[in-house]
Amino acid sequence: MRVLLTGSSGWLGRFLAPRLREDGHEVTGLDVAPGADTQILGSVADRALVERTFADHGIEAVIHSGALHKPDIVRYKRQAFIDGNVTGTLNLLEAAAAAGNDRFVFTSTTSLMVSEALHRGALDRALWMTEDYGPLEPRNIYGVTKLAAEQLCRLAHREHGLPVCILRTSRFFPEEDDTRRDRSGPNIKANEFLNRRLTVEDAAEAHVAALARAPVLGFGTFIVSAPPPFSPRDCEALALDAAAVVERYFPDAPRLYAGAGWTLPARIDRVYVPAAAEAGLGFRARTDFASILEAIAQGRQLPFVHDPSYVSPKERAVEGEKATC
């Protein structure tokens, strides 16, 4: 199929574009920043550009991953989030519907399920979070605009019959967490595979699965994350002593972690549950917490990328412009 991939220069885009080509798709990449897989330089907020791209490239399907996201909150005004994440999504949905596309995949985020109270650690038990979790009260402009974009997807399906899969993706960024310094970066990431992370390769694979399934499903929202080892019965204990719960499931974890100089999480406040994606998309992340323990035990390279130097390519473009001024 002729697929329009937005955000093609970004972290996800550089894994997803080649993966789509591997399946025989013809990929047109659109991004505000240049990249190896980007043919169209510009913003999804530019309606004329979006319409031209559909006409010139005969677009048959869309994977919409381009967005301002959490680290951009300190760099951009709220209006830029509305323009790119909301108006941009509307432009793509309407162009896709007008072109008679039969599938649209939207990269959303589990972050829109995180309220201020959850973020503050004010809850006394871990939340078992499925797609039905609500009411949703996103705590920042990123979550608010992603939720608005999800609702636009829902509307486009209802009004135009456009088949849409929304992927509420958990963390897969390679850089340091901008809010935490209590453990080393790799240790933090490894811990997150218990409840709120997946590899970028698995995130790409989920999009491939959603692209294949969207026409059959019509409309669906799916949490995409590594399968957690826990059950809802663990939620109280996870908030009190997560390390003890982890040790119950993985008796070798404390020893392996000690060898790596790492520590298990003291508290887990939420568990993203990807069961619907497994049932509806046939997608299950290949890398989970057990894979990480296995890699440590066998002295192999960790099965996820940690790259503190990663910067979104649009920031590099901005830096480049400043440097040439």
By CB under 6 A, tell whether 313 contacts ligand NAD: yes
Which tokens is 108 given? 């959303």
Polymer length in residues for the chain = 325
Residues from 138 through 177 that contact ligand NAD (CB under 6 A): 169, 171-173
Residue with tokens 């995409």: 224
By CB under 6 A, tell whether 199 contacts ligand NAD: no
By CB under 6 A, tell whether 28 contacts ligand NAD: no
| DSSP helix/strand/coil, 180 | coil
Give, in order, the Cα–Cα distances in Å from 141 to each of 7, 10, 110, 171, 209.
19, 20, 14, 17, 29
Which of 4, 9, 59, 61 contacts ligand NAD by CB under 6 A? 9
Which of 25, 69, 189, 207 contacts ligand NAD by CB under 6 A? 69
By CB under 6 A, tell whether 15 contacts ligand NAD: no
**Quick check: 110 and 225 in contact, CB under 8 A?**
yes
Residues from 86 through 125 that contact ligand NAD (CB under 6 A): 88, 107, 109
| DSSP helix/strand/coil, 230 | coil
By CB under 6 A, tell whether 68 contacts ligand NAD: yes
Give, in order, the Cα–Cα distances in Å from 119 to each of 216, 233, 268.
36, 22, 11
**Quick check: 106 and 64 in contact, CB under 8 A?**
yes
Which of 17, 20, 31, 227 contacts ligand NAD by CB under 6 A? 31
By CB under 6 A, tell whether 43 contacts ligand NAD: yes
DSSP, res 218: S
**Quick check: 3 and 62 in contact, CB under 8 A?**
yes
Identify which range of 48-56, 64-72, 89-97, 265-273 contacts ligand NAD by CB under 6 A: 64-72
Secondary structure element (H or E) that encloses residue 4, with its range:
strand 2-6
Which of 4, 5, 45, 209 contacts ligand NAD by CB under 6 A? 45
Residues from 230 through 259 that contact ligand NAD (CB under 6 A): none
Contacting positions for ligand NAD (CB under 6 A): 6-7, 9-13, 30-33, 43-45, 65-69, 84, 88, 107, 109, 169, 171-173, 312-314
